[in-house]
Structure 1
Amino acid sequence: MEATISLTSQDVTKQDPTALFSPKNPIPMETIFLSNIDQAVVFPVETVFFFQVPPTKASSTLNICEVVKRAVAEVLLVPYYFMAGRLNFNHGSNRLELVCNNAGVMFVGATSRLALKDLGNLSLPNASFHRFIHRPGLYKSLDETPLFTIQVTRFKCGGFALGFMTNHAILDGKSASEMFHNLASICRGEGLKTHVFPNERTSLRARNPPQIKFPHNEYVKIPKIPSLATSFTTQNQTSPSPLIFSNKYDHKLFHFTPSMLKSLKDKAITKTSSFEAIVAHLWRARTKVVFGNTDELSTVLFAVDIRKKISPPLLAGFVGNGVVTAFATAKVRDLVERPFCFCVEKVREGGERVTSEYVRSVVDWLEVYKGIPSTCNGNNFYVSAWWKLPFNELDLGFGRLVHGGPIVSGNDEFVLLLEGNGGGINVWLGLEREKMKRFMNHVFDI
């Protein structure tokens, strides 16, 4: 894999953070109900976008920080007023809630002594790109932590980076993408792209009494959570765990070309999607190196969009978490010894299991047990399909988007599927060093 640049604090000069407030925050102050699905994914999501500007137009971005800042403060925070609020743990209801107290979105303007080209291949995940994100303090309590931060970093070439931190409890990937596209539209001078923002989450309220009709191995009860690092934190815990940034893991990027993906799909025998094929393949290869006992169960988790699966469907433009965690599980022996089509079928079954009634059962299970996705046993892992999210057309009217993606962390519970060149998929994966050495013997065994 190509070497990546390691940025230092000298490479990026940041101004002091500025709080941006909604000009139309509700009076009296509003408190928004958060669904049990929201409550299960309380962690920060960091995303950065890089824009290239032709040398002849480098001066056009001299005021890019001010353009973005005004777009957020004067227009975006009218419909998205709740992004200036804070999470609060209500001890009476034993739930998190979104308090629209207009405490502010944090904005940072920055400059870099580097040119965009100095960053090298932007498609290679780089943990030091966190310098293009404003982190408001890793270990603050939730009610002190902004739900939305923005940093605009201008490079000496005129190109710039747009870095966001959001909280997954408030926006899932699709909702965040819609907000980013609205911001881009405002910056282009075209106003809001959408005008309806359904933020009513009570349609995902638990039934009374709860009716748990399925086993939910994809979640773990909070009392059973060990002290292992996990991005999924409990509802009244500071976030994230300090162990998230452990350096005991090796991380590598594996590129699967379109021909490799076709080979995997052909091996599946029955018609299958690229997602099902790559998840089944990674699950099988990872299982071979992580488990020692072939009678153990191996589990892979992944998100399924429920916007149209649930009855009645969620409203178009729904703001919040319109996804639940799905899972596939099997004995290690079966995953390793049976044909590849067995692995694919298990992944497909995991997705098809998510019906409207299943979603209602998930919500009810979470009402009773207040659980989180089950990645914290050291063996299960979560596949996040970033390449499916509609981020690649972000256009602020200044320059051309050359790359957008997540800021990677130092744990092994997430496997990221990123957009690859020429229609392929890049897989970002971390394992303990010895396991990674063995994994590399299996990952391209197609």
Structure 2
Amino acid sequence: MEITITSRETIKPISPTPEEHKIYKLSLFDELQIVTYLPTLFFYPKTDKFPEPSQISHQLKQSLSEALAIFYPVAGRRNDLTSIICNDEGSPFYEAKVNMSMAEFLKPPKLEFLNKLLPCEPNRIHKATEPLPQVLIQLNSFNCGGIAIGVCNLHTLLDGYSGCLFKATWAAICRGSRDEVSCPDLSTASSFFPPMYTSNVPDGNRASTIEKNCTTRRFLFGIEAINILRAAARDNKSVRNPSRYDALAALISKHMILARKVDSCDTMAAFHLVDMRRRIGEPFNKQTVGNLFWAAMVVYECNKVNPESDIKDFVTNAREKIGELSRELFLSVQSNPHILIKGSPTAKQPEGVDKEDLFIPFLFTSWLNVVSLNEFDFGWGKPVWAGVRGGAQETLPNIVVLMETNEGVEAWITMEEKYMGILETDLEFLRFASPNPSVSSI
């Protein structure tokens, strides 16, 4: 498959940022964030709603320009460890031709080529002060007339939720639904959790030491399989009604640990990323922009995990740790921000966190019941499929992203190849997970 870049342009905000907003202060959680690009891909087959290709490009660029004026820090560049200079440099916008039909590409999805549809290499680690674009876009045109929109947003300002808020605003403007656009809250996060310059802020050079040569695979858990897993995860004493996330995270944790046990490690950990907006409540809401999540960590003793291990135990342990993430805990950061910084004398670290095996934990992030990537309509209908990334690359290992689909839940798993090979031949795991099925709606 060949993908040819046909144009490169930088889209600037439709109006300049006011002088009083030229310096945007990051929050403490933004400041501590690893600098990497989060990828998303949206696939739209050609329909009667499609305008001419040149008109699609024009609409996307014009609406992006308007969205950047609303989310003005997104058009800026990192100024230092604690701020973004809102200089209206804008977002790179690439256009590309794909010498393949979308149906051919998606039956099944060519995961090894997904990254070529993105405007930059996703999930690589950069230096904290590098003046990178906050958002990049690539418009890919298939030879059947369908398109795929690839978006990469920098983790400095936009977490998964904030990134979706920006894309939803862009899509609403593009389809002419400006009445559905609500103003983002760009000030609460930094005023509530002000930045604190510290030498302990993670830098790209340190983070790069944990990058590994990994591969990303997609597994589909159908509705029937999920119901079976939820029933198996039910515990009348502790978790009477396990969610889809509870059941899937438990099963995946178990089998990722079994795959990693070939290295005879003593302990492993799973980090469950939890959105703070809903747990803190006021003054935070859906429009609050920033990296507002916290990781609940569950530590496992590897010698106690075996093929007969009950996923109920995994669910109970995760629920217990996630339940500790209270409004009171988050508010304690205001009086003592050092609890977030690894190596600080006052840092809250679970027992065993300094063991070498825990430096590369399993990291779970879920978009279930938060936002459906299949809802982004730019004016020519909803996407038939949304993807993340694929293929092999140097990146952070042991990442799991759970996404909503019409058929159930997709799990995008990134692991080192030797462990992925074990996972892909794990018979119990494959009882529930279908590896990379075709997109049925094409």
Higher mean C-alpha deviation, range 270-279 or range 252-261: 252-261
Counterpart for residue 154 of structure 1: 141
2:85 aligns to what?
A: 99
Query: Which residue number corresponds to residue 176 of structure 1?
Result: 163
User: 1:342 is aligned with what amino acid?
Assistant: D
CA distance in 1, matches of 2:141, 2:431: 43
Q: Does residue 32 of structure 2 align to residue 45 of structure 1? A: no
Residue 18 (structure 1) aligned with residue 18 (structure 2): no
Query: Aligned equivalents of 1:58 and 1:205: distance in 2?
Result: 44
**Cα pair 2:11 2:61 within 8 Å, conserved:** no
Match of 1:305 in 2: 275
- SS at the partner of 1:392? helix
Report what 1:213 is aligned to. Answer: none
The match for 2:174 among 184, 187, 198 is 187
> Displacement of 1:318 after TM fit?
0.8
Match of 1:340 in 2: 311
Amino acid in the other structure paired with 2:193: R
Query: Which one of the candidate residues 51, 61, 64 is aligned to 2:56?
Result: 64
| Corresponding position of 1:281 | 251
* Paired residue type of 2:89: A
Measure how far apart 1:393 and its partner are: 1.0
Would you say the 8 A contact 1:184–1:394 is kept in 2? yes
Displacement of 1:326 in angstroms is 1.5
**Counterpart of 1:256 in structure 2: which amino acid?**
F
**1:282-319 deviation per Cα after TM superposition (whole angstroms, max 9, x unaligned):** 11222223136989332111211111211544134111
Partner-residue secondary structure (3-state), 2:291: coil
| Structure number having the greater helix percentage | 2
Alpha carbons 1:310, 1:359 under 8 Å: kept: yes
| Superposition CA RMSD, Å | 3.5
1:150-178 residue CA offsets vs partner (Å, 9 max, x unmatched):
22222232211111111122112222212
In the alignment, does 2:365 pair up with 1:384?
Answer: yes
**1:255 maps to 2:220:** yes
- Kept in 2, the 8 Å contact 1:150–1:162? The answer is yes
The change in CA–CA distance for 1:394 and 1:358 in structure 2 (over 3 A counts) is: same
Cα distance in 2, alignment partners of residues 338 and 405 from structure 1:
32
Aligned pairs, number: 406
Map 1:114-153; keep pairs closer than 5 Å.
114-121=100-107, 124=109, 126-135=111-120, 142-153=129-140
What runs of 5+ residues in structure 2 fail to find an aligned partner? 236-240, 344-348, 433-442
Structure 1 stretch displaced more, 286-295 or 143-152: 286-295
What are the superposed Cα offsets for residues 118-140 of structure 1, whole Å, 9 maximum, x if unpaired?
31336x47242222222299787
Superposed CA offset, 1:84-107 (max 9, x none): 111132xxxxx4322212222222
Over residues 353-412 of structure 1, what are the superposed CA-to-partner deviations in whole Å (9 max), with x where a residue is unaligned?
110122234677764664499898465110122455322111111254111121246343
Q: Bigger shift: 12-21 or 361-370? A: 361-370
- Of 357-366 and 148-157, deviating more is 357-366
Query: What is the SS of the residue equivalent to 1:171?
Result: coil
Q: Match for 1:202 among 190, 210, 213? A: 190
Secondary structure of the corresponding residue to residue 62 of structure 1: helix
Output the amino acid matched with 1:88: N
Rate the CA distance shift 1:312–1:107 in 2: closer, same or farther, 3 A: same
- 2:259–2:422 contact (8 Å) kept in structure 1: no
**Greater Cα offset, 292-301 or 347-356:** 292-301
What's the counterpart of residue 260 of structure 2?
A: 290
Paired with 1:28 and 1:143, the residues of 2 have a C-alpha distance of 24
Tell me the amino acid that sits aligned with residue 382 of structure 1: L
Identity, in percent, stands at 20
Residues 214-268 of structure 1 deviation map (CA, whole Å, 9 limit, x = unaligned): xxxxxxx997xxxxxxxxxx6443698498472xx45443332222222222222
